[in-house]
Homo-oligomer: A and B are copies of this chain.
Amino acid sequence: MTRRVEVVPVEGLPEIGAGDSLGALIVEAVSVTGEGIRSEDVLVVSQKVVSKAEGRFVNLADVEPGERARDLAARLGKDPRLVELILRESVDVVRAERDVLIVEGRSGWISANAGIDASNVPGADRVTLLPAEPDASARRLRAEIRDATGALPGVVIADSFGRPWRLGQTDVAIGCAGIAPLDDWRGRSDRDGGELAATVIAVADELAAAADLARGKDEGVPVAMVRGVARFVTSDDGPGAAALRRARDEDLFR
């Protein structure tokens, strides 16, 4: 079966602050579009608003860089307070060369700067950290949406990550609930009865990427609703985006 997929940007969310019920605010913003949230939809939510709702703000002025952070910052040409924060939010440094600091963050994602950044954060020197447990955030968001609507859509929390070998960033899933993050075709047959070799699709990441097409980075449109992907939505919360993490000892690029 094939199907049309539609990505609906959800506009009109207010500036999110610590303690806000993001789920309820999303439900309200979706209702303004004249659409309703259905259990077969997927809501893709930018990390930034999740972090804001969870109060994951840090003021760089409050950060005292240690010696390691100062050394690394000098070498990379970065703000030592930011480097200190990145190191605190990380369990491993994967690369520290030129002006790039790539780390394994506390929640297991490998990214530049542990996902810490200052864009779209009001206030000078204020940055957001990634949600502490993005899969738990996705589950919570899903429950809030269920409480407000009775519907149980899939939820993806997305962030823009760079990649080795390829320029530019794409949005990927750092958390999810209620979707199958991987669609495993191995062992199934192709049209000609031949085996489909090693085809496991990272659906959660493709949902994040599709959602990103529907919004500009400057627009305050941190949520998009994806329709036509019911086959990936599950009634239980499922394994979350944790299922997308390649184990360290199976990774050739650590």
Chain A interface residues toward B at CB < 8 A: 1-9, 11, 95, 97-98, 100, 102, 109-110, 112, 117-122, 160, 163-172, 181-182, 185, 188-192, 194-203, 205-207, 209-210, 212-221, 226, 228-229, 243-246, 251-254
Contacts and interface: CB of A to CB of B under 8 A. Distances in A.
Q: Is the interface of A mostly helix, strand, loop or mixed?
A: loop
Given A109-B165, A164-B246, A167-B202, 4 more contacts: A120-B194, A168-B200, A170-B170, A185-B217
A58 to B, nearest CB: 15
A191 B219 contact: yes
B191 A220 contact: yes
Number of copies: 2
A79 to B, nearest CB: 11
Contact of A213 (B112, B192, B210, B215): B210
A95 B170 contact: no
A164 B167 contact: no
B202 A206 contact: no
Nearest to A215: B2
Contact of A218 (B4, B190, B200, B245): B190
B2 A167 contact: no
A7 B5 contact: yes
A110 B2 CA distance: 30
